[in-house]
Amino acid sequence: MTLADVAAGAGVSIATASRALSGKPRVSREMVDRVRAVAADLGYRVDPIARALRDGSSRLVGMIVPVISIPFFSQLIDAVEEELSRAGFELLLADSHGFVDEEVRRLRVLGDRRVDGILIVASDRTASMPSIANVPHDIPVVTLDRATDKPITDFVGVDNELGMELLFDHLAEQGVASVGYAGTDDATTSGVERWQGFNRLARRHGMEVGATFRGEFSIESGMAAADHITKAGTLPDAIVCGSDQVAVGTIARLREKNFDVPRDVLITGFDGGELSRISWPTLTTVVQPLSSIAGDSVSVLVDRIRGSTSALRRSRLAPELQLGGSTRLDPR
C-alpha cells in the first residue's frame, strides 16, 4: 500500500493525506481520523526511520509520571496518548516512582533517545527543577498536573483552589461545622495548594478545624489518616481528603473501626477518576478535566516543537464537583 492509495481511499489529495498522517497543521481532527481509518483498513504504515531522516524529527514524545499504577495517572496517560496520536506523535512512557533521582535518570534517557518533547508530572516542586531545567534546550518540556515552584516550563493543570471551594460550598450546604483533613505533604504543588485551600476555606466558612494528617497520595496514607483522626478524639463532621485514593483508604479504615460514612462522618475526595465511582459509598469529589489537561498540554508542547517562542504559559483549568454517597445520606 502507498500513500497514494490512502489518499484515494479517503478522497483527499496526497498532500492532505501526508499532513493528516504526520500530525501537521491545517488538517481538521475529522479529516485526520478519516485518513487514519483508511490507512488502518489498507494496512498502510509510515516508515518511522525514513520519516525521521527526512523531517529531522523522531515523532516521539516522552512522558514521566510519578506512579503509573495510580488510577488518576493511568487515565491521564490514556488521554495524553490519544491527543499525541492525533497530532502524529507516539508516546514513550516512564515511571519515576516518585523519586527525583529516578526522574533525573528518565529525563536523561529520553534526551538520549532524542524525543521531540517531554511531558512530565514533577515528583517534587523544588527538587525536580534542576533536572528539568537541564534538559537540552532543543527538547521542549511541559509540566502537567503538578507545577514547579518557579515557572521554568509551560504548565497545564487543574485549579486546585477552585476545586476546594466547590467542596467547601457543598459541605457548608450540608451543615458541616467541623472538618478534618487527610492529604499530602509539601513535596508537590497539589499537596500544598489543596492544604492551603483547606485552611483558608475552613476559616471563611467558620468551620472548626479538627485533627489533620498529611502523608502521601495513597490508600495506605488514607488509612493512616483515619487512625490518627480517630485517636485524636471526637470525629469532625467531615474529613476533606487530598485525593480519591486517600479518601478510599480513609473510608476503609473507618469501616474497620465501625464508623459509617456518611452517617457518622462525611468524606470528600479529589480527582474524580474511575475509583470515585466504583468505591462504596461513591465519592463526592472534585473532577479534574483530564481531557482538557491532556489536550492543552499536548497542544502547548506541539507548538514548542514547531518553534513557538512565546512567553511561558501557566494554564489552570476549572474542575467540576461530583456528588456521591460519601457526603449524602440519600445519594440518589
Domains of the chain as residue ranges with CATH: 3-46 (1.10.260.40), 58-154+291-313 (3.40.50.2300), 160-288+321-327 (3.40.50.2300)
Please give the Cα distance from 119 to 257 (Å, whole number).
42
Residue 29, pLDDT score = 81
Res 52 pLDDT > 60: no
For residue 262, say if its preceding peptide bond is cis, omega within 30 degrees of 0: yes
Report pLDDT for 332.
44
Average pLDDT of every residue of the chain: 91
Q: Which residue has the higher pLDDT, 35 or 195?
A: 195
Asked whether residue 55 carries a pLDDT value surpassing 90, the answer given is no
Q: Cell numbers at residue 159, please?
A: 485549579
Query: E strands along 206-294, which residues?
Result: 208-215, 238-241, 266-268, 285-287
Task: Inform me whether the pLDDT recorded for 53 exceeds 50.
Answer: no
Q: 283: which 3 cell numbers?
A: 465519592
* pLDDT at site 331: 46
Cross-strand partners of 118: 62, 141
Q: What is the mean pLDDT of residues 280-303?
A: 96
> pTM for the full model?
0.80
Tell me the sheet residues that pair with 234.
Answer: none
106-116 mean pLDDT: 91
| pLDDT at residue 135 is higher than 70 | yes
pLDDT of residue 197: 97
- Would the pLDDT of 246 be above 80? yes
